[in-house]
Structure 1
Amino acid sequence: MSSKAPLRIASVNVNGVRAAFRKGMGEWLDGRGVDILALQEVRASTEDLEGLLGPDWNILHDPATAKGRAGVALASRDRAHIHRVELGAAEFDSAGRWLEADYEVNGTVVTVVSTYVHSGEAETPKQDEKWKFLDAMSERLPELAKHSDYALVLGDLNVGHQKLDIKNWKGNVKRSGFLPRERAYFDRFLGPAGEQVEGADGSTGPGLGWVDVGRQAAGEAEGPYTWWSWRGQAFDNDTGWRIDYHLATPALAAVATNYTVDRAEAYDKRWSDHAPVVVDYAL
């Protein structure tokens, strides 16, 4: 990719890409000027993606083992020159949940990851899978930072890091997505590199030095939320969760601008229960 304009990168959990396009995702994408698009919960075939996005996009897709579940993709205006899908130990099934690609942008290698962390369910086997995934992320993030000074992990990470990230945080402290142990992983992901960090659950571990671009942009303010339940008045009342992230290495975070959550104008204009998160990177 070669351009004087900033690199525009967007991430969204589409909640089924075919349904999202039926409801208006294509119109959003046509007018947004995106260079790299990270998708989660694709729940479709590579052929479906190619048909929906069209020939102007180069598509990488890692479907889930179970058909019709999960699935992550990266689509770009230029071809990635290398990509990887492995995460964690060989016996750990991360299919459809972690996809990495290297892109060359004005002579700089930018590593982009589309990831979909398990939603989990407290004290069940579903949560055990989430712990495994977060452990694997903890091992992979330092490797990514070593691989490229300009690395970016995008996606639905299914954890609200701080009280500012969930409107009704008091009612969710025992639910997956806001458990203290989950939040402690993010305390370490985002803590100063190499320093011992105390997590929300009282545990300690070394900080990995990554930057939450959304929180960097918003400051100490509530939200902006990226997911709202379809039920009740959650969307209309902005009772949401901020669980979709751009996590960047410090060098990349330093050139991030125009962080935007593309919240739909109205409930009936939504094409997913998540909103796209769009950021420009001035490389």
Structure 2
Amino acid sequence: MKIATWNVNSLRARADRVEAFLERQDIDALAIQETKCKDENFPWELFERAGYEVAHNGFSQWNGVAIASRVGLEDVQRGFEGQPHFGKGGKDPHEEARAIGATVGTESTDGAAPVRLWSLYVPNGRGLQDEHMVYKLDWLSTLKDLTAAQLAESPDLRLALTGDWNIAPQDEDVWDMQFFLDNELTHVSEPERSAFRSFTDAGLVDVVRPRHPGPGVYTYWDYKALRFPKKEGMRIDFQLCSPALAESVEDAWIDRDERKGKGASDHAPVIVDYR
């Protein structure tokens, strides 16, 4: 069962590329971030035409997450239990469309057991002293506690937390660590990295890095300053898996070619093939 995660940075703007990607890479289930649409303008027909069921969580033209699967899609959950809300400048906190979970693989024909798959668009943080950073860390802490409890209760759970984590957990995951430090940028601060490590401390496994170690292995290149041709990227998209799922990995890679050409997202898909 081949599972991919991809921040498409506007699904409607990249519908043709998504459809071609699914066919080219023979994807069984796709976790999508930044759909940037509501249910009423979500391109349902794109996935139906390609033979996929799809579940979406989107409230506005911002954020938005989805899961598409051609091997079964059951027990859809929009948001996770206790998910923090965000309210800026004293406004009432509101829920953002940043998480969706579903069980995929219930109709797999290759003998693989089902997987509990999450598509996550972790809050950006915006600035080291911004209240959005507090929200980001709270969001991650709540998700980690929930995940740790699930793994403790069900050690054999085949679980994948996938998506855009908006964290570069190691120095090699950015093109120039000193640039980030000098400019006091997010994604590399110790609180953010500690939050990411808490998931691996809880037992989850980054199944891509051992097969594609850095430096220079990135999943995101900003549109600004021609970051992609300059090879100035970041590794911020991950598939973190439970031990029971991690042991079934056959292959894993980053589809860097999908960042090339006209109309590309600023992120590349991360793909894992599970037995």
> What range is the shorter-chain TM-score in?
0.7 to 0.9
Tell me the alpha carbon deviations over residues 125-180 of structure 1, each in whole angstroms, 9 at most, x when there is no partner: 22122122111122122134344521000100000000121111222133211111
Tell me which amino acid in the other structure corresponds to 2:272: V
Structure 1: gaps (5+ residues): 1-6, 191-206
Structure 1 residue ranges, 4+ long, deviating more than 6 angstroms after superposition: none
TM-score normalised over the length of structure 2 = 0.86
Where does 1:102-121 land on structure 2 (aligned, <5 Å)? 102-103=103-104, 104=106, 105=108, 106=111, 108-121=113-126
Does the CA-based 8 Å contact 2:220-2:234 persist in structure 1? Answer: yes
Residue 263 of structure 2 is aligned to residue 257 of structure 1 = no
- Relative to structure 2, which stretch is displaced further, 31-40 or 120-129? 120-129
- Relative to structure 2, which stretch is displaced further, 79-88 or 221-230? 79-88
Q: For 2:23, which of 26, 30, 35 is the aligned residue?
A: 30
Structure 2: gaps (5+ residues): 86-93
State how many pairs are aligned.
Answer: 256
For 2:84 and 2:159, how far apart are their aligned partners in 1?
Answer: 26
Q: Report how far residue 268 of structure 1 moved.
A: 3.1
Identity of matched residues, %: 28
Tell me which amino acid in the other structure corresponds to 2:135: E
Where does 1:1-283 land on structure 2 (aligned, <5 Å)? 7-21=1-15, 24-47=17-40, 48-55=42-49, 56-64=51-59, 67-89=60-82, 92=85, 93-103=94-104, 104=106, 105=108, 106=111, 108-121=113-126, 122-145=128-151, 146-147=153-154, 149-173=157-181, 174-190=184-200, 207-219=201-213, 221-264=214-257, 267-269=260-262, 271-282=264-275
Secondary structure in 2 aligned to 1:60? strand
Question: 1:197 maps to which residue?
Answer: none
Change (3 A) 1:231 1:77: same
Change (3 A) 1:164 1:267: same
Question: 1:195 maps to which residue?
Answer: none
Tell me the alpha carbon deviations over residues 57-102 of structure 1, each in whole angstroms, 9 at most, x when there is no partner: 10111113xx101010000003322122232537635541111112
Does the CA-based 8 Å contact 2:31-2:67 persist in structure 1? Answer: yes
Change (3 A) 1:21 1:80: closer
Tell me the alpha carbon deviations over residues 196-223 of structure 1, each in whole angstroms, 9 at most, x when there is no partner: xxxxxxxxxxx2011011212224x314
Q: Report how far residue 271 of structure 1 moved.
A: 1.8
Secondary structure in 2 aligned to 1:217? coil
Does the CA-based 8 Å contact 1:85-1:95 persist in structure 2? Answer: no
TM-score normalised over the length of structure 1 = 0.83
Secondary structure in 1 aligned to 2:251? strand
Does the CA-based 8 Å contact 1:264-1:270 persist in structure 2? Answer: no
For 2:48 and 2:82, how far apart are their aligned partners in 1?
Answer: 35
Change (3 A) 1:90 1:131: closer
Q: Report how far residue 26 of structure 1 moved.
A: 2.3
Change (3 A) 1:8 1:125: same
Change (3 A) 1:80 1:217: same
Secondary structure in 1 aligned to 2:223? coil
Tell me which amino acid in the other structure corresponds to 1:189: F
Q: Report how far residue 54 of structure 1 moved.
A: 2.6
